[in-house]
C-alpha cells in the first residue's frame, strides 16, 4: 500500500484501474498514474496530507470535475490527487447580504441554480457551467460569454477558505462588499490553479436575477463586418451580456457535422447576441440596437422562445466538441485581445499567414482560435505558429489565455513570453506561501 497505510478522516484510492481516470483532464495532456487519490472529509486529513507531502516529498494536485483545458489537474511525477468530493458543507444564501457560500465540491450549476431559485444571479458562466466544479471555477477564475458584461469569477469572490502549507484552513476576505483591510489575499487564490493552496469553499456576491432577456442572431455575408460591432455597441452605452461569433469556416463545419439546430443556422458568418438590461425586450430597445448595428442588422433574427435560445446556446457549447470530433489533432487556444483590437488581431494573423479558424467571445476579445490541420504540421512548425500567435496578442495588449489558464499546457510559452519581473514575483509568492513546493508544482510558473 506504499505511502498511504492510513489517512485519518479520508478515503484513499490506490487501485491502478481506478487511478487511470485521474491521469488527464480536458486538455490534450496525460500524466503518469498518481500515487493515490485522497478524498478528505475532515481537517485531520488535510493536516496529515500536508505533513506527509512535506516529509515524503510528493505533490498535492487539487482536482475538481476535471474539465480544465490547461492540464492543471494532470498529475506529474509523485503526485497525489486531492479530490474534495466528500468535503462537508452546503450551499447557503443570505438574501440580506446578497451572498452565497458553497463548498468547493458543489457543481457550478448547483451554485447558479440555488441563487436563481431565490431570484438571485451568480454571473460566472463558463461554457462548462453544467459540468465544472465550483472549486475548479474559483481556482481557474472561470469566465464565459457573460464576462463581457459581468467580468470573471474574480469579480464575485468576497471570501474563501483554503488549506495552506501550514496544514491549517484559513479564511481570506470577509463576506462583505467593502473590505479594505490590506491587499486582498482571497483574490490571489482565485485563478491560482492550485499552486498556492487548496480552496475548500467560498462566499460570493450575487445580483438580483435579470428579469428580461433579448437573444438575437446576427447573420452576415462578410464576417469582417462583425469585428467592430461589440465596440460600437459598448461605445454607445449598450453592454451586451453576450456577443459570441462563429467565422465562416467554423459555421460551415457546424452546419455539416453539428447538432440538428446548427443545420438551420443562417449567414456566412454568425453572431449570437444577448442583452439582459431592464427594458431590453421593448421595441424601443431593439430599434436602438438595430440602429447601432447599421446595415448589418438587415438579417437580424430574434430567438423566438426559451427553447430556441437554449438550442442556440447548446450549439455554442458543442462547437469545440464538434471540431474536436472532426479534427482530433487540432490545436486550439483561447487568446484574448482588447475588444478594440480584434480587427487588428485578424489582420495581424493574416499577415503572419497563421492558418486558423475562429469562434468565441467577440464581446470581450477572447477568441478560440483553432489550428485544424495541426496534425499535418511538424511539432516545430506548430510551436512557431503558437509563438507568433501569442506574440501578436501581447503586442496588441492581450495575452495567452483569456479563460482557460496557464496550467501545464501553456507554462512554457508563459515563462518565455511574460515579463520576467512578474514571473519572479509569482515565484517569490509561491516560495512564501508554499515553501516546500507541495501544491501543484510544475504548473503555471
Ligand atoms: C466544453 C468545455 C467548455 C469550457 N468553457 C470554458 C469557458 O467558457 N470559460 C472558462 O473559463 N473555462 C472553460 N472551460 C474550462 C474549465 O471547464 C473551467 O476552467 C472550469 O472552471 C474548471 O473546473 P473543474 O472543476 O473542472 O476544475 P479542474 O479541471 O478539476 O481543475 C482545474 C484547475 O484548478 C485546480 N483546482 C481545482 N479545484 C481546486 C481547488 N478546490 N483548490 C485549488 N485548486 C483547484 C486544479 O488543480 C487545476 O489546476 C471549458 C471546459 C470544457 C471542457
170-204 per-position pLDDT tens digit: 999 999 999 999 999 999 999 999 999 999 999 99
Indicate whether 64 and 130 sit together in one domain: no
Indicate whether 196 and 230 sit together in one domain: no
Cβ of 60 closer than 6 Å to ligand 1, yes or no, is: no
Q: Mean pLDDT score of the chain, rounded to an integer?
A: 96
Measure 69 CA to ligand 1 centroid, in angstroms. 7
The answer to whether 392 touches 352, Cβ cutoff 8 Å, is yes
Q: Is 438 left (phi over 0), alpha (psi -120 to 50) or beta?
A: alpha
* Nearest ligand 1 atom, CA 137: 21
Distance CA 273, CA 182 (A): 39
Domain that holds residue 29: 10-86
Q: Is residue 363 part of a domain?
A: no
Cβ of 360 closer than 6 Å to ligand 1, yes or no, is: no
pLDDT over 90 percentage in the chain: 93
Work out the pLDDT band at 72, boundaries 50, 70, 90: very high
Measure 130 CA to ligand 1 centroid, in angstroms. 12
Query: Which residue among 52, 86, 120 closes a domain?
Result: 86
Distance CA 20, CA 23 (A): 6
Cβ of 358 closer than 6 Å to ligand 1, yes or no, is: no
pLDDT at 304 over 80: no
CATH code of the domain covering residue 20? 3.30.43.10
Measure 62 CA to ligand 1 centroid, in angstroms. 11
Q: How many residues does the chain have?
A: 445
Q: Is residue 346 part of a domain?
A: no
CATH code of the domain covering residue 168? 3.30.465.10
Residue 3 makes CB contacts below 8 A (sequence gap 6+) with 35, 36, 52, 56, 58
Cβ of 72 closer than 6 Å to ligand 1, yes or no, is: yes
* pLDDT for 305: 84
199-252 pLDDT per residue, tens = 999 999 999 999 999 999 999 988 898 999 999 999 999 999 999 999 999 999
Cβ of 140 closer than 6 Å to ligand 1, yes or no, is: yes
Biggest CA pair distance of the chain: 70
Cβ of 332 closer than 6 Å to ligand 1, yes or no, is: no
Residue 108 makes CB contacts below 8 A (sequence gap 6+) with 124, 126, 128, 129, 130, 132, 133, 134, 137, 142
Among candidates 439, 443, 362, 352, which has minimal Cα distance to 405?
443
Q: Of the ranges 232-241, 261-270, 303-312, 367-376, which one carries the lowest mean pLDDT score?
A: 303-312
Cβ of 62 closer than 6 Å to ligand 1, yes or no, is: yes
Distance CA 52, CA 39 (A): 15
The answer to whether 135 touches 221, Cβ cutoff 8 Å, is no
More confident residue, 16 or 304: 16
Cβ of 75 closer than 6 Å to ligand 1, yes or no, is: no
Q: Is residue 31 part of a domain?
A: yes
Indicate whether 242 and 299 sit together in one domain: yes
Work out the pLDDT band at 5, boundaries 50, 70, 90: low
Q: Record the pTM.
A: 0.96
Cβ of 128 closer than 6 Å to ligand 1, yes or no, is: yes
Distance between alpha carbon 191 and the CA centroid of its chain, in Å?
9
Residue 165 C-alpha cell reads as 502549507
| CA 208 to each of CA 94, 99, 146: distance values in angstroms, whole numbers, following the listed order | 13, 11, 15
Distance CA 249, CA 360 (A): 13
Indicate whether 66 and 129 sit together in one domain: no
Measure 3 CA to ligand 1 centroid, in angstroms. 28
pLDDT at 74 over 50: yes
What is the 8-class DSSP label of residue 149? H
400-416 pLDDT per residue, tens = 999 999 999 999 999 99
What is the 8-class DSSP label of residue 244? E
Work out the pLDDT band at 308, boundaries 50, 70, 90: confident
Q: Terminus-to-terminus CA distance in the chain, angstroms?
A: 32
Cβ of 320 closer than 6 Å to ligand 1, yes or no, is: yes
Q: Is residue 337 part of a domain?
A: no
Helix (H, G, I), strand (E, B) or coil at 299: helix
Q: Is 17 left (phi over 0), alpha (psi -120 to 50) or beta?
A: alpha
* pLDDT for 326: 94
pLDDT at 1 over 80: no
Indicate whether 119 and 52 sit together in one domain: no
Distance CA 390, CA 401 (A): 9
Cβ of 27 closer than 6 Å to ligand 1, yes or no, is: no
Q: Is residue 64 part of a domain?
A: yes
CA-derived radius of gyration, the chain: 22
Indicate whether 183 and 268 sit together in one domain: no
What is the 8-class DSSP label of residue 376? G
- CA within 13 Å, CB half, 212: 11
Query: Which residue among 173, 208, 243 closes a domain?
Result: 208
Query: Which residue among 35, 62, 86 closes a domain?
Result: 86
**C-alpha torsion 200→185→61→415, nearest 10:** 160
Residue 158 makes CB contacts below 8 A (sequence gap 6+) with 99, 173, 174, 175, 176, 177, 179, 186, 202, 203, 204, 205
The answer to whether 133 touches 139, Cβ cutoff 8 Å, is no
In the sheet that 169-173 helps form, which strands lie side by side, from edge to edge? Answer: 92-94, 99-103, 198-205, 157-163, 169-173
pLDDT at 373 over 60: yes
Indicate whether 166 and 266 sit together in one domain: no
| CA 31 to each of CA 28, 70, 142: distance values in angstroms, whole numbers, following the listed order | 10, 13, 23
Indicate whether 96 and 51 sit together in one domain: no
Cβ of 201 closer than 6 Å to ligand 1, yes or no, is: no
The answer to whether 114 touches 96, Cβ cutoff 8 Å, is no
Ligand 1: which of 28, 67, 107 to mutate, judged by most atoms within 8 Å of the beta carbon? Answer: 67
Q: Is residue 386 part of a domain?
A: no
* Nearest ligand 1 atom, CA 62: 47
* pLDDT for 3: 56
89-119 pLDDT per residue, tens = 999 999 999 999 999 999 999 999 999 999 9
Average of per-residue pLDDT across 296-307: 88
Measure 301 CA to ligand 1 centroid, in angstroms. 33
Cβ of 26 closer than 6 Å to ligand 1, yes or no, is: yes
Nearest CA to ligand 1 atom 20: 137
Q: Is residue 121 part of a domain?
A: yes
The 3-state secondary structure of 39-61 reads: EECCHHHHHHHHHHHHHHCCEEE
pLDDT over 70 percentage in the chain: 99
* pLDDT for 2: 53
Q: Of the ranges 50-59, 269-278, 375-384, which one carries the lowest mean pLDDT score?
A: 375-384
Indicate whether 164 and 215 sit together in one domain: no
Measure 71 CA to ligand 1 centroid, in angstroms. 9
Indicate whether 234 and 171 sit together in one domain: no
Average of per-residue pLDDT across 159-171: 98
Indicate whether 167 and 261 sit together in one domain: no
* pLDDT for 185: 96
Measure 135 CA to ligand 1 centroid, in angstroms. 8
Helix (H, G, I), strand (E, B) or coil at 131: coil
Cβ of 83 closer than 6 Å to ligand 1, yes or no, is: no
Indicate whether 224 and 241 sit together in one domain: yes
Name the β-bridge partners of 331: 371
Average of per-residue pLDDT across 321-336: 94
Number of domains in the chain: 3
Cβ of 66 closer than 6 Å to ligand 1, yes or no, is: yes
Residue 20 makes CB contacts below 8 A (sequence gap 6+) with 33
Average of per-residue pLDDT across 144-170: 98
Q: Is residue 351 part of a domain?
A: no
Amino acid at each position: 500500500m506504499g505511502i498511504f497505510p492510513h489517512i485519518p478522516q479520508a478515503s484513499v484510492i490506490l487501485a491502478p484501474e481506478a487511478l487511470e481516470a485521474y491521469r488527464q483532464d480536458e486538455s490534450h495532456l496525460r500524466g503518469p498514474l498518481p500515487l493515490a487519490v485522497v478524498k478528505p472529509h475532515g481537517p485531520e486529513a488535510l493536516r496529515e496530507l500536508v505533513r506527509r507531502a512535506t516529509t515524503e516529498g510528493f505533490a498535492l494536485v487539487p482536482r475538481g470535475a476535471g474539465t480544465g483545458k490547461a492540464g492543471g489537474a494532470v498529475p506529474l511525477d509523485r503526485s497525489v490527487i486531492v479530490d474534495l468530493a466528500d468535503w462537508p458543507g452546503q450551499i447557503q444564501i443570505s438574501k440580506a447580504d446578497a451572498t452565497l457560500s458553497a463548498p468547493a465540491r458543489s457543481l457550478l450549476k448547483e451554485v447558479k441554480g440555488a441563487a436563481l431559485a431565490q431570484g438571485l444571479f451568480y454571473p460566472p458562466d463558463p461554457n462548462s457551467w453544467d459540468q465544472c466544479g465550483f472549486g475548479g471555477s474559483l481556482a481557474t477564475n472561470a469566465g464565459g460569454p457573460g464576462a463581457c458584461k459581468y467580468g470573471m469569477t474574480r469579480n464575485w469572490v468576497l471570501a474563501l477558505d483554503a488549506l495552506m502549507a501550514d496544514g491549517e484552513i484559513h479564511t481570506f476576505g470577509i463576506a462583505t462588499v467593502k473590505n479594505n483591510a490590506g491587499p486582498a489575499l482571497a483574490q490571489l487564490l482565485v485563478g491560482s490553479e492550485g499552486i498556492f493552496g487548496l480552496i475548500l469553499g467560498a462566499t460570493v456576491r450575487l445580483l438580483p436575477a435579470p428579469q428580461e432577456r433579448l437573444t438575437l442572431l446576427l447573420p452576415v455575408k462578410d464576417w469582417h463586418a462583425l469585428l467592430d460591432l461589440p465596440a460600437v455597441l459598448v461605445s454607445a452605452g449598450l453592454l451586451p451580456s453576450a456577443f459570441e461569433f462563429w467565422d465562416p469556416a467554423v459555421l460551415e463545419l457546424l452546419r455539416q457535422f453539428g447538432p440538428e439546430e446548427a443545420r438551420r443556422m443562417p449567414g456566412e458568418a454568425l453572431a449570437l447576441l444577448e442583452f439582459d438590461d431592464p427594458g431590453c425586450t421593448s421595441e424601443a430597445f431593439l430599434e436602438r440596437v438595430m440602429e447601432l448595428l447599421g446595415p448589418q442588422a438587415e438579417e437580424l433574427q430574434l430567438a423566438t422562445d426559451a427553447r430556441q435560445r437554449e438550442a442556440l446556446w447548446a450549439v455554442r457549447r458543442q462547437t469545440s466538441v464538434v471540431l474536436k470530433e472532426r479534427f482530433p489533432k487540432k490545436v486550439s487556444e483561447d487568446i484574448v485581445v482588447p475588444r478594440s483590437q480584434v480587427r487588428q488581431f485578424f489582420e495581424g494573423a493574416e499577415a503572419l499567414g497563421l492558418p486558423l479558424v475562429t469562434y468565441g467571445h467577440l464581446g470581450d476579445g477572447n477568441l478560440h482560435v483553432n489550428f485544424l490541420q495541426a496534425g499535418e504540421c511538424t511539432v516545430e512548425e506548430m510551436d512557431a505558429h503558437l509563438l507568433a500567435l501569442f506574440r501578436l496578442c501581447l503586442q496588441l495588449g492581450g495575452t495567452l489565455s483569456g479563460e482557460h489558464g496557464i496550467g501545464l499546457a501553456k507554462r512554457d510559452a508563459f515563462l518565455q513570453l511574460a515579463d520576467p519581473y512578474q514571473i519572479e514575483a509569482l515565484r517569490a509568492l509561491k516560495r512564501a506561501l508554499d515553501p516546500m513546493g507541495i501544491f501543484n508544482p510544475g504548473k503555471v510558473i
